[in-house]
Amino acid sequence: MGGIDGNNHSNEPIVSTGEDNKLTVLITGCSDGGLGAALALAFHEAGFHVYATARDVAKMGELCAAAGPGIKTLPLDVQSASSIADCVARVKRLDILVNNAGTMMTMPLADVSIPQAKDIFDTNVWGVLAVTQAFLPLLLESARRQSGGGIIAVNTSVASVVAAPFLGVYSASKAATAMFCDTLRLELAVFGLHVVELKTGAVGPTKLIANNTSLLLAAPTTHGGGGVPVAGSGSSSAPPIILPEKSIYAPAREVVEDLLRRGYDGAWMPPTQWAKQVVQDLMQKKNAAAPPSRIWRGQSALLGWAVQFLPSFLTTGPVKRQTKYTQVEEVLRIARIYPGNDVE
């Protein structure tokens, strides 16, 4: 299956056009309205040859219309070995790989479906490793050319270092991926490869909920970002039941399900702004040799950085207030379920 770039629908490798000294980047998770699409446009505007990928190339129509033939689109399902192999076969040269595709699920850990949680890890953790391994030969060749390439970027999240209610599975998967980044950085440095982790804060709003109604059912939801959950309006009809019938949070069902649907309710950094900053950071040489190991961009990203060094008793309260979890606690206290302060 070929991309929808308008001029190449064969199964032959796509050969870069234009100046030979242009760097080539491939980005996963580029469905319209997501962070991957914003990155593709930012790299394109910076003069890169861009491969934008997604499970369904039809969902990159807006991206193609905005960029024209300057961006090549290819199908890529990070959970499918055959899809990954087909994509690799289409790419002749690669200087920068951006692992951006990810999945998200909001649900109390006490009620999480283990099979769904494993699916989150299959994409956010094993999918990243599988794609990285598959494109490694091309990236090694880029590093040998010493052309400024040989970069592996992985979009994780501030959620990898900040624990937030109802994001346990997502945060744990991003934390695991962050450790993969740290280890890969150690193992691949001798080959001239640079591994960069994108510690993304609140970026959006994007089309996450509008394009993936399965989030309302707490099912794994593919998205193109590594930040916090995206706020959305959901369905105009009565919302479906999200919490299991016998959930320990049942007394606060209305409040909890509203929080699960709305996700993060704070300030956002526009995706275009975030993407331009990330591209600039990736190409900024550190000590004239390498990009930074971690890039903290997005709303409240620096606060996420600071939280790493603060004791938990200083951060728990602000996190609960920011995520509106204090509302859940208050309802449970009134119902005398939560073992906090009694309410008369």
**Catalytic positions, written as ranges:** 170, 174
- The residue length of the chain stands at 344
Tokens encoding 159: 């959620």
Using CA atoms, how far apart are residues 189 and 181, in angstroms rounded to an integer?
A: 12
Give the helix, strand, coil percentages of the chain, each rounded to 5.
Answer: 45, 15, 40
Cα separation, 53 vs 31, whole angstroms: 8
Q: Classify residue 253 by its DSSP letter.
A: H
Tally of CB atoms within 10 A around 129: 15
Token pair in block for residue 128 = 């990243």
- For 80, residues 6+ apart whose C-beta sits below 8 A from its C-beta are none
Dump the DSSP string for 288-303. Answer: TTB--SEEEESBTHHH
